[in-house]
Copies of this chain bind each other. A is one copy, B any other.
Amino acid sequence: MLYVVGLGLGDERGVTVRGLDAVRRCARVYMEAHTALLALAVDDHPSSRLAKLEKLYGKEVVIVAGREMVDGEDRSDRILREATGADVAFLVIGHPFGSDEPSGKTTHTDLVLRAKKLRVGVKVIDSASVLNAVGACGLQLHRYGEAITVPFFTETCKRDHFYQAIVNNRWLGLHTLCLLDIHVKGPVSEYLCRGNKAYEPPRFMTVNTAISQLLEVLEMRGEPEPAYDEDSLCIGVARLGSDDEKIVAGPMGKLIDLDFGPPPHCLVIVGETTLVEEEMLEFYMIK
């Protein structure tokens, strides 16, 4: 059986009791290198975070690259084959199908899909993800529209394909959750060899960069009636689910200059609000 286990948010204690039981029972525990880099590199060197995780789980965690070839065979196929004869765990940040990791979500769906095609038993173990934990900022979760991902702009590439979803959500009075891009340099698996001093942490987009890019999109498009502007109410969220979570609400033009501290960050563009939502937002409003 292949257990795809959501690690939830914050530190290693975001896993559920059900997930922990499964991991402890498994013969082998895997984590995809890209995931590992994001999960483990937030405020520390990956290897020390990994050690904490392994201590709680009571298992060595084997880090693999999603499409790494081993002896001419795709590593994931090898994991799936292993899971036909034994219990194997595959660890995922947040929820296995969450959008916590914009570039990772297809990998995990793909793994489950391939397991099903090969008739390997697969069990997904849920946990929290940004998609529900963002409820902490006080807006009702069922009043969010389509979630978007804001990608890093470069000099030559400024993709603003997400703009229409914001337009739609605003038009419907819904809130927009903006997931923020993460840039990982080079072949990540190399960084994760334990003791590798050449480790280069990934670059997480901040609330500030996200807002700056969102405003740049308006200039680029020259919209006569933009979906938002510097006065639009937003909520900047950092380290959701951690002990030092930071949530601040305010107009884009003010949040752009606020220091939210270490990653990960996300941003919410506020739609129409109810009285209860407004009361909750008051507690997070920038002074």
Interface residues of A (CB under 8 A from B): 6, 8-18, 20-21, 56, 95-99, 105-106, 109-110, 112-113, 116, 124, 126-129, 131-133, 135-136, 138, 140-149, 168, 172, 174, 179, 241, 276, 279-280, 283
Contacts and interface: CB of A to CB of B under 8 A. Distances in A.
A142 B99 CA distance: 7
Contact of A113 (B98, B140, B279): B279
Contacts of A141: 95, 97-99, 129, 131, 147
A129 B12 CA distance: 19
Contacts of A18: 8, 10-11, 13-14
A114 B148 CA distance: 32
B142 A276 contact: no
6 contacts: A13-B21, A95-B135, A116-B283, A126-B241, A142-B146, A145-B174
Contacts of A145: 145-146, 174
Q: How many copies of this chain does one complex carry?
A: 2
A39 to B, nearest CB: 15
Contacts of A124: 135-136
Contact of A98 (B12, B14, B132, B283): B132
B131 A128 contact: no
B13 A17 contact: yes
Given A109-B280, A126-B128, A276-B113, A136 B16 contact: no
A206 B83 CA distance: 35
A206 to B, nearest CB: 20
Contacts of A8: 16, 18, 126-127
